[in-house]
């Protein structure tokens, strides 16, 4: 039974859907997906077109809005919105260190998680669409990894779409994970340089923290082992609109004086624990590189291997000289499964996924070249998370896709820009801009 309730200006309805774990075996095991239906309070009884939102990640549940925050207010002017918790995330059937042992050992867990990529998410959407809309097509809004899912949607089930809107998430159609990270590390280095140009005092602060971590064994209050590499991974903040400022304020209060000498403050440790822990989104670490798997080549801890090609990211080598410490960005490394207590029990499962050699293609270039669905994409200039050149190559490969290339926003533009980003992209799909 669906439950409806109100927040300022909106009516929310909790929806649950039962879908096959493996869509190739529709009569087999099932899982439950959760989605939150949202409609403007003054339109609650109107027959409105639907927009389904696919969150970035992978591994994150849909945004938990209060009222009409960010882009949602613009969408609610004309749509009934479905905020989907993709399989394994949010309030859907979970996949984490507590639940995955129900599948069996690491081999069974890894096999289970191969069904948590964009192809399965799109098939989930198609089953849900038929139930929710009565078979009518809907509009999809894909943020980041949600845009990857939108590209898979256009490749496999375009008949289900009235339009597709992508924000910061046009994937390469054929790049291996190695190609993704070879493009990423120079981009990350530029973001770090821009941060230090804004906050030059952070050069010494970051070096001091890294030096402390190289000479001390630091375990955070929640059990996370904070190494220099883990500290560098806080650079993931630099891809967001407020990330540089957040990193600056974090660094400025890192140390306190104690009877034993300088130590990392409790406040710093507590905030870092929250930023680095994967307890709330373990799927991000487990299947992040798998979203690039499309052939017989294993991903094989791509970000870790490719990082070795960029020795300027080595903290120990940096501190032996006088160069600024480089932070890293959106990448998953095997050491995370040692540092993070939420991931430690899943290390062998992650190794098996990294070694897998039978990934199926996620995109159909021929079908995309013949696309008839109106598509518009915001491509953020020098996006830290998704390579701009890869995105523009894909834009050229999808028939009729219109791009809005902008340096006004970072990767989270659809949130930070309020209604403007969605408004512009919807206009592009309708030839109104």
Beta carbons of 56 and 84 less than 8 angstroms apart: no
**Helix (H) / strand (E) containing 6:** strand 3-7
Whether the link from the prior residue into 226 is cis, omega within 30° of 0, is: no
What are the two backbone dihedrals, phi and then psi, of residue 96, each rounded to the nearest 5 degrees?
A: -155, -175
Half-sphere exposure of residue 162, counting CA atoms within 13 Å on the CB side? 15
Whether 314 sits among the annotated catalytic residues: the reply is: no
How far is 84 from 92, CA to CA, in rounded Å?
9
**CA pair distance 303, 138, nearest whole angstrom:** 36
Catalytic residue among 25, 47, 217, 358: 358
- Catalytic site residue from 195, 333, 411, 412: 411
| CA R_g for the chain | 22
Query: Is 176 part of the annotated catalytic residue set?
Result: no
Instruction: Outline where 277-325 has alpha helix (H).
Output: 282-287, 302-307, 315-320
Residue 42 CB neighbours (<10 A)? 11
DSSP code for 381: T
Decide if 155 is catalytic: no
Selecting among 92, 120, 144, 233, the annotated active-site residue is: 144
Q: What is the spatial distance between Cα 100 and Cα 88, in angstroms, rounded to a whole number?
A: 10
Span between the terminal Cα atoms of the chain, in Å: 42
Tokens of residue 270, six digits? 């507590």
H runs (alpha helix) in 333-385: 336-339, 347-355, 365-369
Which residues carry out catalysis? Answer: 144, 358, 411
């Amino acid at each position: 039974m669906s439950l409806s309730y109100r927040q300022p200006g909106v009516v929310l309805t909790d929806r649950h859907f039962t879908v096959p774990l493996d869509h190739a075996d529709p009569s087999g095991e099932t899982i439950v997906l959760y989605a939150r239906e949202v409609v403007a309070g003054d339109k609650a009884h109107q027959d409105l077109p639907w927009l389904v939102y696919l969150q970035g990640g992978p591994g994150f549940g849909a945004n938990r809005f209060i009222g009409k925050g960010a882009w949602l207010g613009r969408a609610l002017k004309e749509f009934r919105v479905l905020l989907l918790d993709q399989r394994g995330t949010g309030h859907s059937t979970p996949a984490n260190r507590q639940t995955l042992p129900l599948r069996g050992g690491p081999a069974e867990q890894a096999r289970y998680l191969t069904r948590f990529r964009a192809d399965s998410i799109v098939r989930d959407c198609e089953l849900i669409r038929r139930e929710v809309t009565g078979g009518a097509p809907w509009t999809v809004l894909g943020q980041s990894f949600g845009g990857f899912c939108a590209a898979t949607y256009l490749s496999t089930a375009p008949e289900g779409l009235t339009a597709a809107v992508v924000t910061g998430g046009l994937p390469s159609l054929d790049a291996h994970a190695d190609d993704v990270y070879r493009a990423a590390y120079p981009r990350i280095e530029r973001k770090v340089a821009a941060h230090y140009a804004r906050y030059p005092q952070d050069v010494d602060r970051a070096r001091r923290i890294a030096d402390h971590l190289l000479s001390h064994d630091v375990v955070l209050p929640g059990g996370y082992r904070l190494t220099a590499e883990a500290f560098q991974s806080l650079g993931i903040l630099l891809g967001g609109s407020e990330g540089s400022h957040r990193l600056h304020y974090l660094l400025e209060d890192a140390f306190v004086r104690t009877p034993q000498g300088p130590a990392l403050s409790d406040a710093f440790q507590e905030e870092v624990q929250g930023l680095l822990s994967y307890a709330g989104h373990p799927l991000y670490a487990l299947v992040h590189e798998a979203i690039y798997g499309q052939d017989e080549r294993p991903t094989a801890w791509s970000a870790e291997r490719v990082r070795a090609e960029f020795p300027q990211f080595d903290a120990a080598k940096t501190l032996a000289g006088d160069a600024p410490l480089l932070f890293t960005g959106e990448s998953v490394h095997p050491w995370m499964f040692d540092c993070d207590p939420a991931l430690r029990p899943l290390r062998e499962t992650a190794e098996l996924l990294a070694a897998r050699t039978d990934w199926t293609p996620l995109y159909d270039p021929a079908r995309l070249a013949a696309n008839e669905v109106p598509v518009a994409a915001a491509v953020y200039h020098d996006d830290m998370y998704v390579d701009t050149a890869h995105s523009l190559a894909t834009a050229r490969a999808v028939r009729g896709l219109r791009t809005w290339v902008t340096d006004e926003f970072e990767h989270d533009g659809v949130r930070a820009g309020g209604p403007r980003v969605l408004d512009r992209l919807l206009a592009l799909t309708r030839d109104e801009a």
